[in-house]
Every structure is written in C-alpha cells, then in structure tokens.
C-alpha cells in the first residue's frame, strides 16, 4: 500500500499547518506533545550527558522501544510487512516529526492551497 509521494516541502508545509492548528485549538496539549518525542529527547539527553554511558543507554533504549512498538503494531494490527523494511528510517522520521513540532510552537503563519495565512484562535485567516 502506498499513500503517495509528495515533495518534502509540501509534506513539511502541510504538517506544520496541522501542528499549528492543533496548537491554536489546544495549546496545552500541543505543548505536552513534547513528551511523545522519545528518540529526539534521548538524543538531547545523550548530548547533555556528554556522550556518557547513561546517555547512550537511554538513546539505545528509546530506539529499541520505538522500533519494537512500531514492529508490533505493524505486525499485529495493520499486517503491513512493508513497514518492517523501513524501520531503519524510524529515527529520521522521528527527528523530522520533532522538528515540525518545534517549528509549530513558534509562529502562526501557514500555507494552505498556495495561500499564505495565519492560524488565529483555531481558524485560518489572511496574513
């Protein structure tokens, strides 16, 4: 199964728009979503622990748990075996998701169908 292919710029714009809209509607929930980014947070922890053993252990554990959870969901619920061959890209995907979350927390400008707008009070308006 394929969901289609789109340029990275279009995917980025769409996902930032979604994230900023969520932030406008539920600001506390959007901020709290930080804790869902286990791999990027583990990377940050490894960096601030100056590459010590605990930092690498936390990072390894985060990657292992994330990989196992995706593999279990793909195997049991979606039965989509093609996901398994893409597991090595999971940390990259998680880093992109974290970057999108981070960018969405600052600013309200979005692009939708080629129009530049602002998310204000959970609604799209002109810029």
In a domain, 54, yes or no: no
The residues, any chain, with a CB within 8 Å of residue 37's CB and separated by 6 or more, are: 94, 97, 98, 101
pLDDT tens digits along 67-101 = 999 988 887 788 777 888 888 999 999 999 999 99
Inter-CA distances, 26 with 2, 14, 18, 31, Å:
31, 18, 12, 9
Q: What pLDDT was estimated at residue 19?
A: 93
In a domain, 55, yes or no: no
Per the listing, tokens 């100056």 go with 50
- Domain with 100 in it: 8-36+74-126
Looking at the structure of the chain, the number of domains it has is 1
In a domain, 61, yes or no: no
Task: State mean pLDDT over 48-64.
Answer: 93
If DSSP codes are grouped into helix, strand and coil, which group holds residue 106? coil
Q: What is the largest CA-CA distance in the chain?
A: 50
Contact of 104 with 16, CB cutoff 8 Å: yes
Q: What pLDDT was estimated at residue 1?
A: 41
Comparing 56 with 121, the larger pLDDT belongs to 56
The whole-model pTM stands at 0.82
In a domain, 63, yes or no: no
């Amino acid at each position: 199964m394929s969901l289609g292919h789109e340029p990275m710029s279009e995917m980025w714009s769409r996902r930032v728009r979604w994230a900023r809209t969520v932030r406008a509607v539920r600001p506390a929930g959007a901020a709290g979503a930080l804790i869902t980014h286990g791999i990027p947070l583990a990377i940050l922890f490894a960096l601030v622990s100056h590459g010590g053993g605990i930092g690498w252990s936390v990072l390894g554990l985060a990657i292992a748990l994330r990989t196992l959870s995706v593999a279990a969901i793909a195997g049991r619920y979606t039965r989509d075996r093609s996901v398994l061959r893409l597991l090595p890209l999971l940390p990259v995907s998680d880093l992109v998701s974290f970057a999108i979350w981070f960018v969405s927390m600052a600013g309200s400008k979005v692009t939708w169908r080629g129009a530049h707008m602002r998310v204000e009070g959970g609604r799209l308006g002109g810029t």
